[in-house]
Structure 1
Amino acid sequence: MPPSQRRRRPVDDEGDSEEDARPRQRQHIEASDAEQDEDMSDDDPEVTGASSTADNQMAKKLVRYAISCEYSRTAIRRDGIKERVLGKQGRSFRRIFELAQTQLRTVWGMELRELPVREKMTLHEKRQAMKSNAQPKTGSGAYILSSTLPEEYRSASILKPSKVPSAEQEATYSAFYTMVVSMIWLNGGELSEQKLQRYLMRLNADRMLASERTEVAMKRIERQGYVIKKVDRPPVGYEGDQTITWHVGPRAKEEIGLDGVIGLVREVYGHPEDEAFDKKLRSSLGIKNRPLTEGGEDYNDAGMTNGV
């Protein structure tokens, strides 16, 4: 072999060794990173413990947020939970939600229950829903707190009205929206503005409700989801007055339910044990073929009962 070739070989071998060393060095670094990732995996007790502690703190934050919303009768929305509680941990919603449910049930005697989806009421809304190809919503994404206490602990002597603004005002307001919701439900789930005003006039509550105007109280129970006000205006180019109807809101369906309406009616009429009375009450509520129950059960929209 010529000397020139023998002189070039060491140079080529040296170059090859440097190029071969770089991939091996990268492989060594990647292997070290992989080993470090394995050391920091969920199987590590320290990492698992820190994650569990963070989840518990976040669940407690969700409990505080839910209680503050319920105090003002504001719906607890999924978007609000992600924004005010989870922050950048939005993907952990289900895990934090279940932890908060456990804390609410074991410590507070409550649980978060999802509100029903708002129904299509007018003919226009129903037609729009039929034209749309979108899948119907399976959940509203809004929740309220509901008691999980046994029936014997739900008496008025134990669950007293809130003292803010005062116990008397809170009791009056609760009785008012329960009565309005009951009247709507007893009229087939829809009550005209004229009928509502006649009922309120008979109760001497058409203008004032305790120390506030009835109009203000109606706007508040509408805003809080107990009732839905539907205004139908005549088409453009046609003369006529607008029609106002009142419907049962999603919060009333979950908080009061048909069972609450039955309890109110029985209380007003002195708990009559009359078959004719029960028949009329079933007919008014649209549950003709189902027995009436008091306490411990609740009716859904189809007239079936759900355990509380």
Structure 2
Amino acid sequence: KNSRLREIQSQSTQQPRQNSSSDDDAESANESQGDDLLRNSSKLETEELNQNVKRLVRYALACEYQRLTIKRAGIVEKVIGKQRCNFKLVFETAQKRLRDEFGLEMVELPSRVKITLKEKKAAQKQRAASKSSSTYILKSTLPPEYRKPEIISPPIAHSQSDEAAYMGIYTVIICLIRLSADGQISSHQLEKYLKRLNLDKNCGIGTTSDVLARMKKDNYLHEYKVHDDELHTSEWRVGPRGLVEINSEAIAKFIHEIYGDRISDQVEKRLQRSLALSSAVDSETLPGPVNDA
């Protein structure tokens, strides 16, 4: 009887140990499965991010090749789609890849200056909600010595010589406008300047009217109508792309290259004063930071 009692007691003490061991194994298996799920989920998120970044880089390069603006709405539609991901993370990762591998970066364009009373009222309402224009272009981050036609190919359907001529013409016109009173000039005044440069009829890369239309399409220039009692005319301002590509520093450098050592103190003072006034007007249209979607 005593031996039988000891056997029963031994079995009763072994049973909980076996159950405990079984529970530990199950818990360990569950933890292992949880770790695997987290790793797989992390891999999927990383892969999804990489794919979105690649698509955004391709989209940005394709837009700039055609001198089209990179729009936030276009990024959401063509890159992210219906995926639930962090816009800011995708954007900033793509920015780093563009800088590291292509020597380019996406720069947000300023909003177009509002002229009419209707436009100004609409702008005030929009500014209360957001100061961001949500449109971008690619700008080179390369040092000046590497910004050569041999290295940077021209946009689509244009040769290097045509591109150089186009850049030269819009640079001159943008400088004339930025250095004019209130950062704008009338059509009559622009025609006068172009005639003095022998560019009033033809620019060598097309008729003057066609080249000006192209500059408006590319957002280098903006023309708006002015209605007086006696006549209908128009005024010209620098467009968003023109403000970013040909900034105050570039204008000052361009003027110094034209004058060389002959630039006088008086001209230098007038130049700095004009650029300061122009920059003050442009600062009203500067965009804000990139936000999450």
- TM-score per shorter chain, which class? 0.7 to 0.9
Correspondence for 2:271: 281
Q: In the alignment, does 2:282 pair up with 1:301?
A: yes
Once the two structures are TM-superposed, the CA of residue 127 in structure 1 deviates from its matched residue by 5.4
Structure 2 Cα separation of the partners of residues 51 and 151 of structure 1: 38
In structure 2, do the counterparts of structure 1 residues 99 and 123 end up closer, same or farther at CA, with 3 Å as the change threshold?
same
Correspondence for 2:174: 181
With CA pairs under 8 Å and 6+ residues apart, which has the higher RCO, 1 or 2?
Answer: 2
TM (norm. structure 1) is 0.73
Q: In the alignment, does 2:32 pair up with 1:75?
A: no
In structure 2, do the counterparts of structure 1 residues 299 and 264 end up closer, same or farther at CA, with 3 Å as the change threshold?
farther
Correspondence for 1:292: none
Letter matched to residue 143 of structure 1: Y
Letter matched to residue 182 of structure 1: C
Alignment identity in percent? Answer: 35
Correspondence for 1:138: 131
Matched residue count: 253
CA contact (8 A) 2:66 2:156 kept: no
RMSD: 3.0
- Of 219, 243, 247 in structure 1, the residue corresponding to residue 233 of structure 2 is 243
Letter matched to residue 144 of structure 1: I
More helix by proportion, 1 or 2? 2
In structure 2, do the counterparts of structure 1 residues 133 and 116 end up closer, same or farther at CA, with 3 Å as the change threshold?
closer
| Deviation string, structure 1 residues 283-306 (Cα, Å, up to 9, x no partner) | 332359xxxxxxxxx999359xxx
Correspondence for 2:48: 54
Structure 1 Cα separation of the partners of residues 113 and 155 of structure 2: 31
Q: Between 118-127 and 220-229, report the one with greater CA deviation.
A: 118-127
Once the two structures are TM-superposed, the CA of residue 134 in structure 1 deviates from its matched residue by 6.6
Letter matched to residue 173 of structure 1: Y
TM (norm. structure 2) is 0.76
Gaps of 5+ in 1: 1-34, 289-297, 304-308
Letter matched to residue 122 of structure 1: T
CA contact (8 A) 1:116 1:140 kept: yes
Structure 1 Cα separation of the partners of residues 119 and 239 of structure 2: 17
Structure 2 Cα separation of the partners of residues 278 and 155 of structure 1: 28
Gaps of 5+ in 2: 1-29, 285-293
Which consecutive aligned stretches of 4+ in structure 1 deviate over 6 angstroms post-superposition?
none
